[in-house]
Amino acid sequence: MSYLSIKFIVFLIVLIAALKLTKGNNTHNIILLIASYIFYTLGDIKFLVLLLAVSILMWQLGKSIGKNLHTKAAKMYLTIGVIIDILVLGIFKYFDFFVGSFSSLLGMQYTSLNVIFPIGISFYIFQSISYLSDIYTEKIEAEESALNVLLYIGFFPQIVSGPIVKAHDFLPQLKKEHDINWDGVSWGVQRFTLGLFKKVVIADRLGVAVDAVYSAPAAYSGLSLFVAILSYALQIYYDFSGYSDMAIGVAHILGFDLGNNFNLPYLSKNPSDFWRRWHISLSSWFRDYVYIPLGGSNKGKVRTYLNLFITMLLSGLWHGASWSFVVWGFLHAFTSVIHKVFSDIKQKFNLRSKNNRITYFASVIATFAVVAILWIPFRTNDFRKAVLIIKRVFTWSAGVHYVYVYTLIFTGVLIVVEVIAAVKKNGNDIWQPLDLSKFWTKVVFCCFVILTALFAYIGNSAFIYAQF
């Protein structure tokens, strides 16, 4: 079920009514679990059994880990659980890719099995690993009841495209009363509306130009391709942050806090800063469950660089089963390691950069340029096409000129927001909910809703990250 449908609005209203008409935390959790599974089955009923099987298995393994803490048995159960999660993800997402790649390498023929990709599997598998790991590291206790585990893994606002919520952040919330009140609804509706605006007004309109130019890059001029690269950098940001805002807003209406998933990533000063601001829930997941378990930065410089490289490469592979995503992850890993090396050199020799506005501005522009270029193989999913685009841009090739006016408008909007954030909020997101108890703030919000409806692009409602 899409957030961008009347069906979802009706679904949410019925759910809120059911929660308001009933009492008791356990009853509310049961209603939320039923609602989550209805939401999931309306998207694709075929894989509800898989979701249930994974959830129940994680619940049982979690109990086994909890009963055997500080023993080899606990580590064994954790290892079994992680292996099962990786196998499930590998079979449904990567089987054709890996087998096909090895077959080509060995010169063998391989007929794709065309394994159907279950909705949200990349997200709920990572939450399953989080649950087992958090029990093992004693951040949480194992749940005796299956209800909370099933609801944590299958919670509908974030199951399709995140945010990836860690077990130690979410499970304690299930043990509190879900108070649906005016403040929570007001905050959530405003955040949802902001996400809706980002998606249907900005991202979907930019997608028109991106789709046109990327479909035939050899026909367009270097200038047109440059604008298309910029357009896609904006599109993917507004699309995914828009979805995150909508999910966070819905969860907040229901009394849950999913945290923030974006913090003005194109205001980043370096690659490391970018990954602290972009898809925060995924970056922090890899930090907590991959980078730190590998040793983090506590085993020497070389090992630190290797751990960082492995983490970033796996992050790239998580996004998709193709060599384009592997290359994308490799290049981001390379830039992150290079930045880490230079940072260590500066620290060793006590070299300090001038901390002024010119240096800051140059760092932001350089980081954005690198990120935007690396979005090319991500968007094309075709390495040859990506190389063609880069070549035509840097040689400023002749061709059809197509400069999309909305790219210029929304680039201007983003720059204004980032300048305000840099000056007023030390580079952090400036969004604040309106106090809707006042008449004029109600007028402002209603005008924003009307503008969203008037300028919404109707034609492409798919969220980019839903494919991952």
Residues annotated as part of the active site: 319
Residue type, 448: F
Asked whether 99 and 110 are in contact (CB, 8 A), the reply is: yes
Looking from the CA of 227 toward its CB, the CA atoms found within 13 Å total 22
| Cα–Cα distance, 308 to 296 (Å, whole number) | 8
| Cα–Cα distance, 112 to 64 (Å, whole number) | 38
Asked whether 68 and 77 are in contact (CB, 8 A), the reply is: yes
Q: What's the token pair of residue 129? A: 């690993």
**DSSP 8-state symbol, 220:** B
DSSP string of 138-168, one letter each residue: TSSPPPSSHHHHHHHHH-HHHHTT-----HH
Residue type, 214: Y
- How far CA 414 is from CA of 8, 126, 196, 359, 405, in Å, comes to 29, 31, 16, 20, 15
**DSSP 8-state symbol, 46:** G
Residue type, 459: G
Question: What does the CA dihedral 181, 187, 192, 193 come to, rounded to 10 degrees?
Answer: 120
Residues in the chain: 468
75: phi then psi, degrees, rounded to nearest 5: -65, -35
**DSSP 8-state symbol, 70:** T
| Cα–Cα distance, 44 to 58 (Å, whole number) | 22
Question: Could you tell me which of 10, 41, 18, 23 has the C-alpha nearest to residue 118?
Answer: 41
Looking from the CA of 465 toward its CB, the CA atoms found within 13 Å total 26
| Cα–Cα distance, 461 to 14 (Å, whole number) | 23
Looking from the CA of 170 toward its CB, the CA atoms found within 13 Å total 29
Asked whether 161 and 466 are in contact (CB, 8 A), the reply is: yes
Question: Could you tell me which of 154, 147, 144, 146 has the C-alpha nearest to residue 26?
Answer: 147
